[in-house]
Amino acid sequence: MNPSMVITEAPGLFTADGLTGLIFLVMMAVTLTGGIIACCAERLIRAIAGLIVCFIGVAALYYFLNSPFVAMMQMLIYVGAICITIAFAIMLAAPEESRKKGPAGPLSGPLGFISAGLVTFGLIAMAMRTTFTSYPKINNGTVEEIGIAFLTSHSMVFELISIVLLIAIIGALVIAHTGRSK
């Protein structure tokens, strides 16, 4: 997937480009299905399973966007760490038997649907009406370029993010520890 490669004519289904497009369509469907399960499931454990499916699809989309490194990080961090952490929290703190049924309020279902639909419609309409200009690439965006960008032009943010992660770990320990003595 060379960034400069632009396909103009429609490829046949059983050529390499056609199969690539087919895999992309399948992965798009996987992402959307996972998202629908994650936002609509009644049981939390099903929602987290849908979130895992959605994130696997998103990792495949990153691969299609010429970023295999970010796709790998998506699998490692989101699927492997964040979703598993949320699954542990569900097992620790969400007993299914005490769960009340139904939506969060009398109006939250329809109103939530309307507002989410408005936001989605606005974003799609804005993307449709805008023409984005594309600029020539100055490098290939490989892992080496990402590393150079991390340690030169984004080094300040890189250091700050490590401090943020350290404070988050300490804060999580403190918050989870305080209620334990009761």
Partner 1 sequence: MSLLTLYNNLNTFLYLAALLFGMGVYGLMTHRTLIGMLISSELILAAASINFMAFNRFTAPDPATGQVFTLFIMAIAAAEAAIGLSIVIAVYRNYKSVDTEDLVDLKG
The only residue of 79, 117, 156, 159 in contact with partner 1, by rule CB under 8 A: 117
Interaction with partner 1 in 37-76: which residues (CB under 8 A)? 38-40, 44, 47-48, 51, 54-55, 58, 61-62, 64-67, 69-70, 73-74
The only residue of 16, 30, 82, 159 in contact with partner 1, by rule CB under 8 A: 82
Q: Cβ of residue 82: shortest distance to partner 1, in angstroms?
A: 5
How far apart (Å, rounded) are the C-alpha atoms in residues 148 and 137? 16
Q: Cβ of residue 24: shortest distance to partner 1, in angstroms?
A: 4
Interaction with partner 1 in 121-160: which residues (CB under 8 A)? 123-124, 127-128, 132-141, 145-146, 148-150, 154, 157
Interaction with partner 1 in 1-30: which residues (CB under 8 A)? 3, 6-7, 10-11, 13, 17-18, 20-22, 24-25, 28
